[in-house]
Amino acid sequence: MNLTPLPMDSQSVGVLHSRLGEDVAIYHPLGYRFETLVNNGLVDAVIVDSVDGFSQLGRWRDFLSRDLGLDQRNLAQYWLDGCPEKLERNISSLADWNCMREEVTLVAIPSGNAQGHLKGLILVPDIDSKCYCKFPSPLRKSAIHRDFIYNVTYEAISHAYHEWGARRIGITHLSRSKCNGQYEYALTMCQVEVMFHFCAEHRGMESFAFLDCTEGNIPLRLVDYYNSKADIGCHRPIKTKRLEYWGIDFIDLTW
C-alpha cells in the first residue's frame, strides 16, 4: 500500500477493509498541490465536478489539458464571439455543456498522451448542476439527494476501473460550497459508501483520494465508521447509455 513517497501522517491516510479481504488506502492529502499528487503516482484517474472557472477544475485545467493531451479553449476568441454554446473537444467546453444538461451525464475523457501520468478524467454533475434540480429531497429542500450522489460516483468509478484500468482514483466533493470550506457530510458519506460497495465486488483497487481544496471535510472518520459496520448494504445496478464521440464517452444515467 506504499503507493507514493509523499510524507503523509495518520491524519491524511486511512484504510478501507473490503469484504473481499483487501485493504485499500484512502487518502485525504490536504496541503499538496494536485500536480504533485498526480506526478508522484497517488492518482491515476480523476473524477471532478463540471464547474470551470473559479473552481478546482479551473485551477487544474492547464495541467489536466497538458497531461491528457488536450487543446484548451481560446478564451479571447470565445469572449469575442459572445460565449457561444458550441461544444468543442476541450475541458472548458465539455464542463460547461455538462453543467447545463437536464440529463445526468458523465463525460469520460481518456488520455491521449502516452507521456502523461493520468489514464483519464471524468466530468460529473454536482448538486448545483441543472440536472440535479429534478431530484427533490424526500426529507427537506436542503438535504442531499443520496441516490444522485451515489449513482454518479459509482458509475464514474466503475468506468475508470473497467475502461481505463484505473486503480488509484481521485475524487472531488460534488458541491460548490466546498470552496468556502463548507462540506456536506451526507454527500461525503455517499462517496465513502460507494467506495465500500465497489471494493466489495471488485478486486485490485489500490487507493482513493479525496481531493479537497480546503479543510473541513471528514472522509477518514466516515471510512472508520463504515469499517465498524457489520452490514454496509450492497450496490443496486442502474440503467446507463453510452455514446462515444471524439474518442470521449458520454454516459447517461437513469434510475
User: From the CB of residue 59, how many other CB atoms can be counted at a distance below 10 Å?
Assistant: 14
Span 154-181, pLDDT tens digits: 999 999 999 999 999 999 999 888 877 7
| Residue 108, domain CATH | 3.40.220.10
In a domain, 2, yes or no: no
Amino acid at 66: R
pLDDT at 113: 98
What is the pTM (predicted TM-score) of this model?
A: 0.93
**Per-residue confidence band for 213, with pLDDT thresholds at 50, 70 and 90:** confident
Q: Are strands 248-254 and 104-110 parallel, antiparallel or unpaired?
A: antiparallel
Containing structural domain, residue 222: 13-254
Chain CA centroid to CA 137, Å: 22
Instruction: Give the total number of structural domains in the chain.
Output: 1
Q: Which whole number is the average pLDDT over 47-61?
A: 93
Q: State yes or no: pLDDT of 112 exceeds 80.
A: yes
pLDDT at 1: 46
Three cell numbers at 53?
472557472
**Per-residue confidence band for 110, with pLDDT thresholds at 50, 70 and 90:** very high
In a domain, 18, yes or no: yes
pLDDT at 81: 58
Three cell numbers at 172?
472531488
pLDDT at 182: 85
Chain CA centroid to CA 103, Å: 18
More confident residue, 7 or 119: 119
**Per-residue confidence band for 151, with pLDDT thresholds at 50, 70 and 90:** very high
Q: How many residues belong to the chain? A: 255
In a domain, 8, yes or no: no
In a domain, 1, yes or no: no
Three cell numbers at 206?
489500490
In a domain, 7, yes or no: no
Helix count and strand count (H, E) for the chain: 7, 9
Span 55-66, pLDDT tens digits: 999 999 999 999
In a domain, 80, yes or no: yes
**Per-residue confidence band for 132, with pLDDT thresholds at 50, 70 and 90:** very high
Q: Which whole number is the average pLDDT over 143-156?
A: 95
In a domain, 231, yes or no: yes
pLDDT at 80: 57
**% of the chain residues with pLDDT over 70:** 91
In a domain, 139, yes or no: yes
More confident residue, 29 or 86: 29
Average pLDDT of the chain? Answer: 91
